Amino acid sequence: MDFMVVDAEGSVGGLLCIWNPDIFQMSEYCSNQGFIIMSGTFFNLFEYTLLNIYAPNEMGARGEFWERLVNLKNEFPKPWCIAGDFNEIRSIGEKKGCSRRDKGMKELNEFIDKCEVVDLPLLDRKFTWCNSTDGEKWSRIDRVLVDPSWHEVFNLKLWRLPRVVSDHCPLLLMEDERDWGPKPFRVLNAWLLHREFQAFVEKNWNKANVVGWAGYILCNKLKTLNIRLKKWNVEIFGNVINKLKSAEADLHQFDLLAEDRGLNESEKVRRRDFREKVWRLNRMVE
């Protein structure tokens, strides 16, 4: 895997791009505070330019930021895909409980027109950011913009994933909805902290009696250990992954309620409890 980084200024503004060089072959790049631009080819078939951006918080600086990106359009002429935190809404309907910003909206819409890109609709929900403390302010400041030629090649869908750790919701851009098969086996941090884990692994590894060539023995011993570890995880921890998924689902439901009608004091307390539970379980899983 290859990657490119723009360091944060203080606690904001950091950017990270990670890609598989067998899938994306980069030919040109440019980076500065607030953006990473990478131009190349997807599977040696589709040429495009990807922009990962973090727009400034200040309105005046944002206007200059849009102009800087527009000026780079001629240097990177391949069809653009712009994704990231724009720190601005396009219309009043994209915010709830936030202050009105007519000038900022106008500048963002002019930038989109100049770049000749299309704003992909966000499926299922309306907002991508929430103030974590009260959950009363919502807005759609994260988005993905693509050149129309992308639609000639891909069937693109943009989904908002549950907001778990950050005050922003992760966005998932998909070409289709194919099933990519079972998820890979994962080792949980919580296992390594358990005093019986090492002995359990050694016992079950030695207990697995497999005959054959070395690669075959290794593969089948790992399969056997995988099955026994999953069972051990349920017995000892009650399946941390399932607990985490359940807590994330509960937290997501409170976020949906907050978007639609707001939360009463009791619901706000329960929402904070679920956020703390998700954080604790994530520490066990990571």
pLDDT tens by residue, 183-193: 566 677 778 87
182 inside domain = no
Query: Does residue 85 share a domain with residue 69?
Result: yes
252 inside domain = yes
Query: Does residue 194 share a domain with residue 170?
Result: no
Query: Does residue 253 share a domain with residue 227?
Result: no
Structural domain harbouring 256: 240-285
Residue type, 196: E
Query: Does residue 144 share a domain with residue 10?
Result: yes
What are the tokens at 262? 């707001």
Query: Does residue 195 share a domain with residue 156?
Result: no
Query: Does residue 267 share a domain with residue 136?
Result: no
Residue of 10 and 171 predicted with greater confidence? 171
Query: Does residue 211 share a domain with residue 160?
Result: no
Query: Does residue 256 share a domain with residue 225?
Result: no
Residue of 154 and 247 predicted with greater confidence? 154
Q: Which of 189-198, 209-218, 227-236, 275-284 has the lowest mean pLDDT?
A: 275-284
**Distance separating alpha carbons of residues 157 and 238, to the nearest angstrom:** 35
Number of compact structural domains in the chain: 3
First to last CA, the chain: 20
Judge whether residue 242 has pLDDT over 80: no
Tens digits of residue pLDDT in 71-102: 999 899 999 999 999 999 998 888 887 666 68
State the pLDDT confidence band at 230, using cuts at 50, 70 and 90: confident
Judge whether residue 37 has pLDDT over 80: yes
Domain containing residue 80: CATH number = 3.60.10.10
Judge whether residue 260 has pLDDT over 90: no
104 inside domain = yes
Residue type, 227: I
